[in-house]
Structure 1
Amino acid sequence: MSIVTLLPFIVLIGAMFLMTRSAKKKQQQAAEMRNQMQPGTGVRTIGGMYATVKEVGDDTVLLEVAPGVHALYAKNAVGAVLDDDEYNRIVHGDGDLKTDTTVVPDDASSLTEADAAAADADAAAVEDAKIDLGKKDTADEAGDAAKADDKRDGDTDAK
């Protein structure tokens, strides 16, 4: 066998080695992160819930998900251990947030007369554009079928 024939196999084995090595490295980093959890630390679970660590066991962690509400999770369910600043910024809204503070009401009290007229026109257009689902045709066909059955049975009352 020549080196040219073996080259694809060598490249494949090398790629597999690199992928498994990086996966092991990520697993070790995640295990170290979970082992560094202490009571009072803010965490995010793999489901996206933010909570505060209350107790840390061997395989489990007790999280406070709301004031006075505690839940027991597996350590593997912790997706990230957060810095205090990041946790407070996300959970409590503390810190320098660059967001739009414009408030848009959910009710229609802020609509102008032109907006209300446009909304009424849109509602009227939707009312006019109702789709016929053919239920009337189905009912007529069912009635015709019943009449045909009556005629076949010899029922003289069928009209």
Structure 2
Amino acid sequence: MNPVTLLPFIVLIGAMFLMTRSAKNKQRQAVQMREQMQPGSGVRTIGGMYATVKEVHDDTVLLEVAPGVHAFYAKNAVGAVLDDDEYNRIIHGIEPEGADADEETPAVPDDASSLTEGDAEQAQDEAKKTDLTKADGDAAQSGKDKGDSETK
């Protein structure tokens, strides 16, 4: 048989070998990650839900999905075990210590406690300008009706 005719088969077998090898590596890493789970760890399930590990069993894990709400999941349903800093950043919005405060400082304060007196007055003026009440809507509608009757 001619070696040129065997070349596509050899390339195909080599590609299959490489793909199965990388898949086995990923699977081994996932098993290792799930074995490192311990109570108190933050996890993300394959469905995208964040929870805290309460108990670890052979094939299952007890997760606290909300305060006081516990559910059993298969270990295979855990997609990632998160370190404490990442879990607190995602769930509680707590930035890790040493992070740059300038990068993610909100442009608008969360509360009005940091506003000065002039800022507070300006905010009230803006609120009055954008106040859309039912009375304003009725007036706009009646004006629209008048315009319609004038064109007829």
Q: Same fold (TM over 0.5)?
A: yes
Specify the code of the residue in structure 2 equivalent to 1:22: S
Distance 1:51 1:77 in 2: 12
Distance 1:102 1:70 in 2: 38
Structure number with bigger Rg: 1
TM alignment of 1:18-37, pairs within 5 A: 18-37=18-37
> Unaligned stretches of 5+ in structure 1?
104-108, 129-159
Distance 2:87 2:32 in 1: 19
Shift of 1:3: 1.2
CA-atom RMSD, angstroms?
A: 2.9
Distance 2:128 2:46 in 1: 42
Deviations 1:22-52 (A, max 9, x none): 1011001000100110000000000111100
Distance 2:84 2:46 in 1: 19
Distance 2:42 2:50 in 1: 7
Cα gap change, 1:51 to 1:32, in 2 (>3 Å): same
1:101 aligns with 2:118: no
Specify the code of the residue in structure 1 equivalent to 2:38: Q
TM alignment of 1:8-157, pairs within 5 A: 8-95=8-95, 96=99, 98-99=103-104, 101-102=106-107, 110=127, 112=129
Specify the code of the residue in structure 2 equivalent to 1:49: M
Q: How many residues are treated as equivalent by the alignment? A: 116
- TM-score, normalising length from structure 1? 0.64
Q: Which runs of 4+ in 1 moved over 6 A?
A: none
Distance 1:52 1:111 in 2: 45
Distance 1:88 1:22 in 2: 32
Shift of 1:2: 1.3
